[in-house]
Amino acid sequence: MKILPVAGAELDRLFVTMAPPLYEGDPNYIRPLDQDVLDVFNPMTNSYHDRGRCTRWLLHDDSGRVIGRIAAFYNLDTFERDEFPTGGCGFFECIDSQEAANILFDTAKAWLQENGIQAMDGPINFGNRERWWGLLVDGFHPPCYCCNYNPPYYQRLFEQYGFQLYFKQFTYRRELAAHISSRVGEKATYALRDAGYTFRHIDPGQLDKAAEDFRTVYNEAWARHEGVSPMSSDNARKLMQTMKPIIDPKIIWFAYYHGQPVGFWVNIPDVNQLIVKYMNGRLALWGKVLFLWNRWRKRCKTMFGIVFGVVPKHQRKGVEAALVMAAAKVMRDRTQLRYEDLQMNWIGDFNPKMMNVARYVGGTIFKTHHTYRYLFDRSKPFERHPIL
């Protein structure tokens, strides 16, 4: 076997085309859009390159066939805040061979060590956590947009190499027509008694404001977590512009206190259901037309929850429940929306508060992903992600 770095357009093409044959015969696999993957490795489209480094490799068998791939990377913003410098590996794909997987992991490890890194998390994204994060270990249902899907044997490849479970990520699912627990309404009354709180969905004509409100809440509610970088105004605007073609304004909600953003619940239509599964990796012009047509016809039945959060100062005041109640009133109105179910993505097992929120709004665990950590010094004691 031979491993080579990815450089140039032809190897870029191989990086995205080597994966689909591994999933032949799997009815739940949806090939990601090639550009969504390649954009991660393009400094023009991914600002993480400004404060980090990234490289990729392809593994070939003796006949020259590509049988595996991996990326390795680190981000200085989190690198400097961690107890010890931690990088990442991701975009892992491999045949069912521990020998092949070990070559990929060893190569990523060696590159990270050369750059002063002492541990690697994986499989993760060189970017925000809501995309390409974690290894699917339970609930092998069709993936939502930009979410990891993999064969079950990948868990064995990671764990036999020596990766240890750092945290679990749960995707909760609930039918929108299902009854919301009276406990949610009771908790919401605490916030609703205070006239300073307001709850509303975004205005599609004011996306710059929505971007800045998102950044404000994100940096207060999420960026203090281990491994999460603060978001700049420029990155927030870019994120909102990237989402613009798929935004449904009535499913993106904010909580305000005296006009200042203090919470958000961001959902999008499940683009994989709408169009990606038909595109074979390429979003051609006719595909964009089909997407808009399907959206206009309200054919998308699944709403995908990307992120939910309330700034610490306003937690335990019923704001989470009041935000859910305000949004649910619109989301369940069949005269306005046609969604049938909600998948709430990326709720870590280190965040019992959010797990409780997901449960008391009627969610049940639908998928489980693992984020692993591998300590290069095997004599060091391993610790899981701290509970928030």
- Check if the beta carbon of residue 367 is closer than 8 Å to that of residue 302: no
- Dump pLDDT digits (tens) for 121-131: 999 999 988 89
Residues of the chain with pLDDT under 70: 79-81, 223-227, 274-298
In tens, the pLDDT along 285-301 reads 555 656 665 555 567 78
pLDDT of residue 108: 99
C-beta contacts of 354-360 below 8 A and 24+ residues apart: 354/308, 355/170, 357/308, 357/320, 357/321, 357/324, 358/170, 358/172, 359/172, 360/181, 360/183, 360/184
Instruction: Kindly report the length of the chain.
Output: 388
Angle between helices 352-360 and 319-331 (to 10 degrees): 40
Q: Which long-range CB contacts under 8 A does 285-290 form with residues at least 24 apart?
A: 288/245
Write out the H or E segment, with its range, that includes residue 68: strand 66-75
Q: Angle at the Cα of 366 (from 363 to 371), degrees rounded to 5?
A: 110
- Report pLDDT for 18: 97
- The pLDDT of residue 207 is 92
What are the residues facing 136 on neighbouring strands?
369
Q: How far is CA 367 from CA 67, 156, 347, in A?
A: 27, 18, 11
Can you point out the beta strands (E) in 281-349?
302-310, 341-348
Joined together, the tokens standing for residue 260 give 């200042």
Among residues 178, 46, 154, 55, which one has the least CA distance to residue 372? 154
Cα–Cα distance list, 64 to 1, 2, 350, 375 (Å): 8, 8, 43, 32
Q: According to the model, what pLDDT value does residue 223 have?
A: 63
Residue 83: what pLDDT?
76
Contact indicator for 110, 57 with CB cutoff of 8 Å: no
Domains of the chain: 2-167 (3.40.630.30), 177-339 (3.40.630)
Given this model, what pLDDT does residue 293 score?
54
The token duo for 70 is 């991996």
Confidence (pLDDT) at 78: 72
The tokens 């393009």 sit on which residue? 42
The C-alpha atoms of residue 337 and residue 342 are separated, in whole angstroms, by 13
Residue 19: predicted pLDDT:
97
Greatest extent of the chain over all pairs of C-alpha atoms, in Å = 70
Secondary element (H or E) of residue 164: strand 164-175
Q: Does residue 251 contact residue 327 with C-beta atoms inside 8 Å?
A: yes
d(Cα 139, Cα 40) in Å, to the nearest integer?
Answer: 26
